[in-house]
Amino acid sequence: MHPLALATESAEEHAEAGHPERPQRVAAVLRQLETRGLRPRMLALPAREATDAELLRVHDRTLLDAQAALAARGGGHVDADTYVTPGSPAAARRAAGAVLAALDAVLGGEARTAFAAVRPPGHHATRDEMMGFCLLNNVAIAAASAFAAGVERLAVVDWDVHHGNGTQAIFDADPRLLYVSTHAAPFYPGTGHYRERGQGAAEGTKVNVPLLHGAGDDALLAAFERVVVPSLERFRPQLVLVSCGWDAHARDPLAPLAVTTDGYTRAARLVFDAAGALCAGRVVVALEGGYDAHALAWCASALCELLLGDEPAPDPEPLHPPPGPDVSALLDAVREAVGLVR
């Protein structure tokens, strides 16, 4: 079995002048994987478009129709931040398809882990609404596909700086999916309070860690050690999907957290070690946000090095942000809310 597969989609025709969510993001990741000599060591997966049937497991037809209609009119905005071009619907389907190819490689036993370096991102897209740069919810589509393939319990770990409101909402009443998110608060999109725990039979399967502005490596790692990993251990997923945003990085131009490349890498190691113990290391990582090219590049190469079993190369231009706020009381409250302490 291959240790790590790679699926890519840079969605060149989904672009708007001056917008931070642009094709160069994926290009920066791929260039770094080449430079570090990692790409030839990864199993390259062929691209494909997600099918209607795959998309309709999590999205309403109205979303697909609205997307297609806007594209047919020459494109435009669905909100202040989220644009559609004539090529966006096909590009978004290829991004979702790349995550599905990554999933298939892992479920089929071709690869133990897979990284999908894709855009546009997905975790804000709800069942019926595009928002927050997201046109289709790539990770939710993959999760639904995994369930359709017979997976009974899976976890989504979302370390993007923004709360994945779309993924949480789509699976809010589904006890088969553990959703664990670390994100900045107060911040876009405004959801992700730790009292949001899932509905009905799924109560306790949605776990939110809203981090105060300025939080950095210490806060992130404490959240992973005290909340994310214990949640995984309690849930015992058969597969871990990662909504991998690198926009909590101190270099990121859009967000208020101060995580470093090393902090992100240590958090990733905690998740991959837990997956190794719980589900034979089966992990599918899908790119979400992250708008600084240097941060994207070095976080991506370190992540792939971890998954290949290498010792990750350190960021050659590390930042040393000031120590952030103490989050121990917050983490106590989160653990209490989701029943990790009785």
Closest approach, Cβ 82 to Zn ion, in A, equals: 13
Tell which positions 211-230 bind Zn ion, by CB under 5 A. Answer: none
Residue among 21, 129, 158, 160 that touches Zn ion (CB under 5 A):
160
| Contact by Cβ (8 Å): 120, 14 | yes
Closest approach, Cβ 162 to Zn ion, in A, equals: 4
C-alpha–C-alpha distance, residues 155 and 149, integer Å: 15
Residue 150 backbone zone (phi > 0: left; psi -120 to 50: alpha; other: beta): left
Question: Binding segment for Zn ion among 62-70, 93-101, 153-161, 224-232 (CB under 5 A)?
Answer: 153-161
Question: Binding segment for Zn ion among 195-203, 272-280, 284-292, 315-323 (CB under 5 A)?
Answer: 284-292
According to the binding rule CB under 5 A, does residue 289 interact with Zn ion? yes
According to the binding rule CB under 5 A, does residue 104 interact with Zn ion? no
Give the bridge partners for 118, in sequence order.
Answer: 9
Closest approach, Cβ 247 to Zn ion, in A, equals: 4
Q: Which pairing describes strands 83-84 and 76-77: parallel, antiparallel, or unpaired?
A: antiparallel
Closest approach, Cβ 121 to Zn ion, in A, equals: 7
Closest approach, Cβ 163 to Zn ion, in A, equals: 9
DSSP state of 99: H
Size of the site for Zn ion (CB under 5 A): 5
Residues 6+ apart with CB under 8 A from 158: 123, 139, 164, 167, 179, 180, 181, 182, 183, 242, 243, 245, 288
* 124 catalytically annotated: yes
Residue 298 backbone zone (phi > 0: left; psi -120 to 50: alpha; other: beta): alpha
Q: What are phi and psi of 37, to 5 degrees?
A: 75, 20
Q: What angle do CA 80, 85, 91 make, to 5 degrees?
A: 115
C-alpha–C-alpha distance, residues 244 and 173, integer Å: 23
Take residue 194 and report the two structure tokens written for it: 């730790």
Residue among 210, 245, 263, 312 that touches Zn ion (CB under 5 A):
245
According to the binding rule CB under 5 A, does residue 247 interact with Zn ion? yes
Q: Which of 14, 59, 123, 124 is catalytic?
A: 124
According to the binding rule CB under 5 A, does residue 119 interact with Zn ion? no
According to the binding rule CB under 5 A, does residue 162 interact with Zn ion? yes
Nearer to Zn ion, 165 or 301 (CB): 165
Nearer to Zn ion, 245 or 324 (CB): 245
According to the binding rule CB under 5 A, does residue 59 interact with Zn ion? no
Nearer to Zn ion, 129 or 160 (CB): 160
Closest approach, Cβ 246 to Zn ion, in A, equals: 9
According to the binding rule CB under 5 A, does residue 281 interact with Zn ion? no
Computed from CA positions of residues 55, 158, 282, 39, in that sequence, does the dihedral angle turn out positive or negative?
Answer: positive
Q: Where on the chain is the footprint of Zn ion (CB under 5 A)?
A: 160, 162, 245, 247, 289
The residues assigned a catalytic role are 124
